[in-house]
Structure 1
Amino acid sequence: MGRTSKDKRDIFYRLAKEQGWRARSAFKLLQAEETFHLLGGLTRAVDLCAAPGSWSQVLAKRMYEPLPPEERDKVKIIAVDLQGMAPIEGVTQLRADISKESTAEAIIKFFGGEKAQIVVSDGAPDSTGMHDFDAYVQGELLLSALSISTFILETGGSFVSKIYRADRTSRLYTQLKRFFKDVCVFKPSASRNSSIEAFVVARQFCLPEGHKPCNLITEWHDHPESWVCRKKENPPVVHVPFVAYKGDLDSDRTYDLGEDYVYKEPVQQPLTAAYQDILKKTSQINIKYEGIRVMHDEELFEEWFKAGVDQNSSHDAN
């Protein structure tokens, strides 16, 4: 397959390169913005798990670039990730762990003591192909993003994060409803129909009375009754609102390249891939194993065994 095959099979991948986006995922946030009008008039935004930076690009395009140069200082966008990424004008980078309270403190300090008006997260774990496990890990990552949001998001703020539609979706929805008055699951057309990926769009943030911001994963496991109000005998049915984006382009369809097609390289390659350390370590290891010999003839096995004993005896004698 040639280098143009992916451009033909994935229209959003092709458009991302043509329009200058670092990844096709930019269209997912663009479609969420078009549907819910999340970014209008905002000046403080946080992009969690930001690398390689396509969602940070969208934030900058919608919040920072439309303003005249003399007013751009009012806009503060911070991208948080353990991985590095190439600079984006109007976006400040913070290499930190989103599960640590010190990261939340650094973000609030960046905003001059104020809190964010929106928090977005397109983070996802490396896929194993085991759908139940992948969905579980993705749910834990979503809870980590929500946990730090309870520290850094102002009242009335919005939250957008990737979610896998699976067994735990209704429970994660119940958790989100603790903190947001309006919550739904959104499926952009840039996300393939064959994928269980979707996005939660939560608006009108408000801390519950008496709730102290904390690690929600720890709270969930230690005190599940604090947010899942259900009886073991008759768990309530939870209907999760679902919104789908209807666009002209289909991410599962193959499109002809056309006569005017010109191949373009990706806008920005990852600076520090998540698996980079693993590659470095394994490059220094020689992974070789001795062959396993299976013998079904007892006489041959006895001869082989005796020969081995004789060799060992001769080695010992030397």
Structure 2
Amino acid sequence: MSRRYRLEEERAKQATNDLQDEIDKMKLQKERIFGPLIWRRLTSGFRIQDLKPQYYEQVLDMIIEHFIHEDVVLRNSNFAEDTDSIKSFREKLLHTMKDQSSIIAIDESNEEIAGVLLLKAVKKCDFGRVFSRVQLSEGKIYQSVIGFMNFLNRKVDVFEHYQCEVFLRYYLLCINPEYRRKALGWQLMDTGLDIARHLKIPVIMAIMDCCKLQKMGQKLGMETLFEIEYVKWRDKYEELIFCDPGAGNYTCALMAGRVKQPVIEEPTEVPEDLTSKTKLTRAEKRKAKQKGKK
């Protein structure tokens, strides 16, 4: 092999390596641009980040497996027994996820999804359109559930009440049973305020169907705009629907509140005599003393 051939081969190899380095750099930049925004890292080993499409199916499976069996409204309506309702509910969830406002909590030790908070920006011009109408949802039980939710939504005009054009709705909170009692629910709910601030949305809103969520809503600064007692909600045959809402769960409440800006503490002023590091000379002290006598 000639010396010239070896030099050309080395140059070609170096050019290939340089090209690969550039490709790797571009790939890394792309991942940073399109990767999830991490909102919080908790000392307990969890991070809260944007819900991206690669997690949609896992989140949907977790909600179907746990949420519909535990949520007060869905559990009392025997939602899990209606396959058409589950299918329609799953499609509605997917549509909500595509709003790209939702967040998830991930266990950093194994990268498993520990919890999810579905959020959706609701604009005044879009409110009450196709995706909230009962007749477009399959499954009799799901239609009755949406009818109940729409009853609550119609009782208060959140846009009018807060004089706003958009609010951020807390649509659904679900924590994997393996990760409960770690305050992940509260961390997700509180992070929702950061998202509202980031999106410049002035109001948050939710339908809270249990006392635990209602207490968290109060901590977030929400107020109850309307609530109905479960014992007073009956079907068209005047039969009680919510036979087992659970201990302490007496009402289903529509709650909302303004998003307050975080309080930034201003640094206290330091006395002037403490800020000066230079010492006065004897002449300056005498001059100041004489000035004081005058």
TM superposition score normalised by structure 2: 0.29
Q: Greater relative contact order: 1 or 2 (C-alpha under 8 angstroms, separation 6 or more)?
A: 1
Structure number with higher helix proportion: 2
Larger Rg: 2
